[in-house]
Amino acid sequence: MEVKITSENLETYKNGDLPLVVDLWAPWCGPCKMLGPVISELAEAYDGRIVVGKCDIEENDDVAIDFGVRNIPTILFFKGGKLVDKFVGAAPKDVLDEKFKALL
């Protein structure tokens, strides 16, 4: 299950016990809509091992600014409170699955 990431709760999730994956998206973004179901499937597959969140950059533009995000979709990967990887653009599930596995 995905959590909603906001400017207010990002630090809490980022510094939690589990690795964090954040999907930065916007409602008007076509590739984001295509990637959404893939992220949801991975969130379900890694439930209890990785926290997966979605962050609407229209509502939380400061998150995008803080991480230098210029294009969406962008996926941020955090472990131990630190950004360890970043992926820009849509991708097939198997490519993202490898990124998820690398967090464990």
Write the pLDDT tens digit of every residue in 53-98. Answer: 999 999 999 999 999 999 999 999 999 999 999 999 999 999 999 9
Q: Which of 10, 29, 35, 50 is catalytic?
A: 29
Give the mean pLDDT of the chain.
96
Mean pLDDT value of segment 8-23: 97
Q: pLDDT value at position 1?
A: 81
* Residues sharing a CB contact under 8 Å with residue 58, sequence separation 6 or more, in sequence order: 26, 27
Which listed residue (5, 20, 21, 32) is catalytic? Answer: 32
Strand partners, 76: 22, 86
CB contact at 8 A, 21 and 75: yes
Q: What is the mean pLDDT of residues 38-48?
A: 97
Q: What is the identity of the amino acid at 25?
A: W
For residue 31, give every residue at least 6 positions away whose Cβ sits within 8 Å of its Cβ, in sequence order, or none.
72, 73, 89, 90
Catalytic (active site) residue 55: no
Size (the chain), residues: 104
How far separated are the first and last CA of the chain, in Å rounded?
Answer: 18
32 is catalytic: yes
CA 46, CA 30: separation in Å to the nearest integer? Answer: 25
